[in-house]
Structure 1
Amino acid sequence: MIEFALNAEVRSDLGKGASRRLRRNANLVPAVIYGGDKAPQSISLQANEVAKLIENEAAFSHVIALNIAGATETVLIKALQRHPAKSFVLHADFVRVVADHKLTAHVPLHFINAETAPAVKQQGGEVSHTISEVEVSCLPKDLPEFIEVDLAKVEIGQTVHLSDLAVPAGVELVALAHGNDLAVANIHASRVKEEGAE
């Protein structure tokens, strides 16, 4: 489902110098679209539109409609290069979405019930997040906006792994498929309590 759209222009002036001029003089972000059965295409985007788009976490795990010269390309954000100090986008890479081809994308994790979990609320445990997003493989129609990590029943000293997550139908966790059952989060005893006990 497409919820996001950006207007883009075909870019013929290529190279680092051209990209610098785009950013400095026209307030544009140079970008490239890859994948599908087409050749890579160089485009430029309005910097303010890109900034507004990426304010929304969901933009990174949703199909985006790129309107280019009267045609529409459906894409996912593959990578963003940001300014090291000012955090604005210097360059963007997009990958084309093909309806019947599986894609891989990074999806954020949303941690729920952390404050109300008995291990936290009653026993004073502290939650640690090991990772904040996961790479998934699925068809475009099955791409989730996020995956929930429910901490309600996690006990002190217990770790939540990828294999513990409830993943939507049709969605595969890439690390798990490769045999890596990564730790996602854990609840541990409060350091303040430990020091007090000593």
Structure 2
Amino acid sequence: MATEFTAFARTAQGSSASRRLRNTAKVPGIVYGGEAKPELIELDHNALWHALKKEDFHSSILTMTLGSATSQVLLRDVQYHPFKQLIQHIDFQRVDANKKLHMKVPVHFVNQEVSPAVKLSAAIVNHVLNEVEVACLPKDLPRFIEVDLKDLKAGESIHAADVKLPSGVSLVFHGRNKDAVFATASVVAEEAAVEGAPVAAAEVAASKQKAPAAAAAAPAKDAKKK
């Protein structure tokens, strides 16, 4: 079950029916969208559990077999048990090949180790965005957005405008800064630490010198009192 899975029709509804279904290692779900009516489905829990661990299952168009028919769907929602490793419910949306869809896809960063920021400056690269929402037709949906860091220098950032997108794909930010930061490269302030080391050493040495002097002065004061 990678980008293809098998579902089975479900007739019973309600919390009691769903509980009985889960007791038989099945997961209740629903398929909606398009011109067809919503359909109640059930899936094998173990197969679904392993499928959900795969990145593609969350960001790709999936082929669902239901009875003798197949259809293209997207994973839209998964509900998990609060503390047990159990899937409570799952939602899929039918795909219309002629309508643009909005989908969150992962961000993959490449060539970080060969960037000037890392090779020349030993900078720390921070991945600010690990996923991003895209808008496109189903046929253009990418598995992920690739961000190339080969030219990233210390103190610089990679913005949305710097990211090369696949044909037919645009980024969606919902009111956020449209030139959002994907990654930054910063240098650890080692110079400050090095410069501060002699000062700290001098302070420690001074404190050691003061300690014997204070100890020697103590008997002298006691002698005067006698």
TM-score (norm 2): 0.78
**Residue type at the aligned position of 2:13:** L
CA shift at 1:17, angstroms?
2.5
**Residue type at the aligned position of 1:90:** Q
| Matches of 2:116 and 2:4, distance apart in 1 | 43
Contact 1:98 1:140 in 2 (8 A): yes
Taking a change above 3 Å as real, the CA distance of residues 169 and 72 of structure 1, as seen in their structure-2 partners, is same
Percentage of pairs with the same residue: 38
Report whether the alignment pairs 1:14 with 2:13: yes
CA shift at 1:18, angstroms?
2.1
**Residue type at the aligned position of 1:22:** L
Taking a change above 3 Å as real, the CA distance of residues 51 and 195 of structure 1, as seen in their structure-2 partners, is farther
**Per-residue deviation, residues 30-79 of structure 1 (Å, max 9, x unmatched):** 11112112222211111112122222211222211111121112101112
Contact 2:8 2:67 in 1 (8 A): yes
Residue segments in structure 2 that go unaligned for 5+ positions in a row = 197-226
Structure with the bigger RCO (C-alpha within 8 Å, sep 6+) is 1
- 1:162 — aligned with what? 160
Taking a change above 3 Å as real, the CA distance of residues 153 and 29 of structure 1, as seen in their structure-2 partners, is same
The count of aligned residue pairs is: 195
- 2:133 — aligned with what? 135
Report whether the alignment pairs 1:108 with 2:109: no
- 1:81 — aligned with what? 79
Higher helix share: 2
**Residue type at the aligned position of 1:14:** Q
- Measured on the aligned residues, the alpha-carbon RMSD in Å equals 2.1
Higher strand share: 1
| Matches of 2:68 and 2:126, distance apart in 1 | 48
1:11-50 pair list within 5 angstroms: 11-24=10-23, 26-50=24-48
- 2:204 — aligned with what? none
TM-score (norm 1): 0.89
| Matches of 1:34 and 1:121, distance apart in 2 | 50
Contact 2:3 2:56 in 1 (8 A): no
**Residue type at the aligned position of 1:132:** N
| Matches of 1:83 and 1:192, distance apart in 2 | 46
- 1:59 — aligned with what? 57
Report whether the alignment pairs 1:180 with 2:178: yes
Tell me the secondary structure at the aligned position of residue 65 of structure 2.
Answer: strand
| Matches of 1:90 and 1:191, distance apart in 2 | 48
Q: Which moved further from structure 2: 32-41 or 100-109?
A: 32-41
CA shift at 1:179, angstroms?
5.8
| Matches of 2:33 and 2:9, distance apart in 1 | 17
Residue segments in structure 1 that go unaligned for 5+ positions in a row = none
Contact 1:175 1:181 in 2 (8 A): no
Tell me the secondary structure at the aligned position of residue 21 of structure 2.
Answer: helix
- 2:67 — aligned with what? 69
Report whether the alignment pairs 1:94 with 2:73: no
Taking a change above 3 Å as real, the CA distance of residues 190 and 84 of structure 1, as seen in their structure-2 partners, is farther
Report whether the alignment pairs 1:171 with 2:169: yes
Contact 1:105 1:135 in 2 (8 A): yes
